[in-house]
Chain A
Amino acid sequence: MPDRKRIDSGSVATHAVLSLGALVMTFPFLWQLLTALKTLAETSQVPPTFLPKDWNWDSFEEVFTALPFREMLTNSLINTIGRTVGQLVFCSLAAYAFARMQFRGRNVLFALFLSVLMVPSSLLVLPQYDIIQSLGLLNSAPALFLPGMFSAFGTFMLRQFFLTLPRELEEAARIDGAGSFRIFWSIMLPLIRPALAALAVITAMWSWNDLLWPLIVNTDPEKMPISAGLTSLEGQYETNYPVMMAGSLIASLPMLVVYLFLQRHFVQSVALSGSKS
């Protein structure tokens, strides 16, 4: 950590580049906020106004009356937790085997698993719907997260991270008589914590914003997540933009909190103890 304030040209340039990028990245978010504060009449003006004529916070209240907003947030939360926990467990187990173990048919199986990534998700929506229906799970919480608990993306990602770990650790543990699961659980898994946190963030984000699948399996508004719920604000002739923007702002806040909470983990350097030869 720097204990002296020394302005070097390098960090000024770094800040300049990063700030410019940050502006480009956040502008649409700002625009969302400004739109949410306008009246409905003002959003349909041509040319559009940049700043609201009069700041009007009603839309933020209206979201809660226009939709069963609380139930929807709860559904989003259940969906997100279900998928994220499922993926962390199932993908880390499989990824470890693919990265660090020898077994018959490993590459064929990995290629097969990877093929799941290559399927456009809309292709499988109808047969997956049939499966959920035959399980009697339509309009239920499990319907939201069941297929999404299994991910080729997560498996591939964690495998890449497992591949970068030094071999000495496993060797030593094996000599010490630890079993496969023990090595995986108490030695290897903690070492890829940044990757696990990154996967958790990405999965949470995708689950939270997922639209097509929830719209198909859970048609009851009380069972919908917020991503699907907001689309019902899109009218046939006119969309209530201020309410929609207010809703999507409120909907993205929990994810920002999750991100800020988890980012510490995926940016924490892992102390590679034991790799000193």
Chain B
Amino acid sequence: MSVFPATAAAKAAGRSRTSASGTRPGPRNQRSAYWFIAPLGLGFAVFYFWPLLQTLYFSFTEFGAFGGHTFIGTDNYLRVIKDVTVWQALGNTLIYCVIGLMALPVAIVVASLLNRRGLRGVSVYRALYFIPFVTLPVAVGLVWNWLYNGDFGLVNEILSWFGVDEHYWVSDPSTAVYAIGTVMVWSTTGYYLVIFMAGVKGIPQDYYEAAELDGAGPLRRFFTITLPLLSPTIFFASVICMINSLQTFDLIYIMMAEKNPAIGDTQSVVGLFYKWAFIENAQGAAAALAFLLMLVIAALTYLQFRIQKRWVHYA
């Protein structure tokens, strides 16, 4: 099962198949590779894989009143699948994921604009766009709740100039998800910007110069040079963005008061996990829920790795 494209290394080794899976060691199987991976592998084993195995076991057990775990088979998983709130949370989470991906085009465009040669004040812009990223989450939630406020918030104020009626954005179940999603995009743009700026800078300037000599305008240059050469970075960012937004939790936790009528309509899967594990003490069911979410994320990531061959351009 190889979802990964063969790297240039495989091609150089004279294997034209696009599968570099390790079933048959290539002519240049480099043993030293294991030494490169060992330190990270060791850390992962201790702090991630071992805890993960423990938690997997817990998901098939019930946590007894006197401590200890009773094995109950797949009961937890059945409970999760039958629970209506789980499906609602999964729906919300997928909406967050779609909205969250909007941060990428914004960041790509800004990164390309900042890459213009001779643009004055580039470093000032770079610092300003980065500010949401250094602001502590608690402050972010407070500010946005104030901006969204239905009675005196700035959002309604600005929209009223365009004749839009005032609205309670965060407490109306039909708009709350989008209100939170907007903040998600706002707070992650700076972070993807950092990644894309590094990517854009890796594109040799002489490509642009050559294109300019051939009479390609800025838009043409963006679509024929920037996007294809940035595609490995875009691919990485879209995978990360999807994984992160499927695990959204902090922002919702901070922005939604307990008595908010829209709370069910904004609950994310990790939010539900948190409630079950730390508030209702249903750790077995919570672990089962987390593993089902992992399956969803893994399936979507696998899909992304499958599709990437069609659009990602490696050197």
User: Which A residues form the contact surface with B (CB < 8 A)?
Assistant: 1-2, 10-11, 14-15, 17-18, 21-22, 24-29, 31-32, 46-48, 89-91, 93-94, 96-124, 127-128, 131, 146-147, 149-150, 152-153, 155-157, 160-161, 163-167, 171, 179-181, 184, 194-195, 197-198, 201-202, 205, 209, 211, 227, 230-231, 234, 241, 244-245, 248, 251-252, 255-256, 259-260, 263, 266-270, 272, 275
B9–A100 touching, CB < 8 Å: yes
Say yes or no: is B164 at the interface (Cβ < 8 Å to chain A): no
A128 to B199, alpha carbons, bound, how many Å? 34
Q: Does B125 contact A (CB under 8 A)?
A: yes
Main SS of chain A's interface residues? helix
Candidates A21, A106, A197; contact of B33 at CB < 8 Å? A106
Please name all residues of chain A whose beta carbon is closer than 8 Å to the beta carbon of B235 when the two chains form the complex.
160
Does B8 count as interface, using CB distance less than 8 angstroms? yes
Q: Which of A102, A116, A184, A227 contacts B36 (CB 8 A)?
A: A184
Looking at B119, B152, B202, the one whose CB has the most chain A CB atoms below 10 A away is B202
Evaluate whether A11 and B44 lie within 8 angstroms (CB atoms) in the complex, with A21-B110, A100-B9, A128-B51 already known.
no
Complex: how many Å from CA A186 to CA B287?
A: 45
CB-defined contacts of A227 to chain B, threshold 8 Å:
136
How many Cβ-Cβ contacts under 8 Å join chain A to chain B? 297
Residues of B within 8 A of A184 (CB): 36
Instruction: Using A22-B129, A194-B202, A267-B201 as known contacts, list a sample of 6 further A-B pairs with CB atoms less than 8 Å apart, ordered by residue number in A.
Output: A25-B132, A102-B13, A113-B41, A123-B290, A150-B43, A267-B126
- Subset of 7 A-B contacts with CB under 8 Å: A93-B36, A101-B30, A150-B40, A150-B48, A167-B8, A198-B194, A211-B250
What is the predominant secondary structure among interface residues of chain B facing chain A?
Answer: helix
For chain B, the bracket of interface size reads 35 or more
A11–B138 CB distance below 8 A: no
Query: Which single member of A46, A103, A205, A256 contacts B31 (CB below 8 Å)?
Result: A103
Picked from A117, A234, A267, the residue with its CB within 8 Å of the CB of B197 is A267
Beta-carbon contact of A107 and B21 below 8 Å: yes
Q: Is the CB of A103 within 8 A of B197?
A: no
**Measured CA separation A104–B22 after assembly (Å):** 4
Residue among A89, A102, A110, A231 facing the most chain B CB atoms (10 A cut-off): A102
**Cα of A180 to Cα of B202 in the assembled complex, Å:** 23
Point out the residues of chain A lying under 8 angstroms from B25, CB to CB: 102-104
Task: State the CA gap A154–B273 with chains docked (Å).
Answer: 26
Roughly how many angstroms separate A32 CA and B293 CA in the complex, as a whole number? 35
Q: Mark B14-29, 1 if CB is under 8 A from A, else 0.
A: 0000001111011011
Which of B74-82, B143-151, B256-264 is near enough to bind chain A?
B143-151
Name the residue on A nearest B136 (C-beta): A248
Question: Which of A29, A109, A197 has its CB near the most chain B CB atoms (within 10 A)?
Answer: A29
Partner of A156, one of B10, B229, B236, B314: B236
Known contacts: A14-B113, A22-B129, A160-B232. The answer to whether A102 contacts B197 by CB under 8 A is no
| Residues of B close to A100: CB separation below 8 A | 7, 9
Residue among B118, B140, B190, B194 having the largest count of chain A Cβ atoms under 10 Å:
B194
* Among B8, B117, B249: residue with most chain A CB under 10 A: B8
Chain B residues near A105 (CB-CB < 8 A): 22
Tell me, yes or no, whether B137 is within 8 Å of chain A by CB. Answer: yes
Instruction: Answer whether residue B247 sits at the interface, using C-beta atoms and an 8 A cutoff.
Output: yes
Q: Which residue of B lies closest to A148 (CB)?
A: B47
Q: How far is the CB of B243 from chain A (nearest CB, A)?
A: 5
- Of the listed residues A109, A211, A267, the one surrounded by the most CB atoms of chain B closer than 10 A to its CB is A267
Given contacts A103-B25, A155-B40, contact A160 B136 (CB under 8 A): no
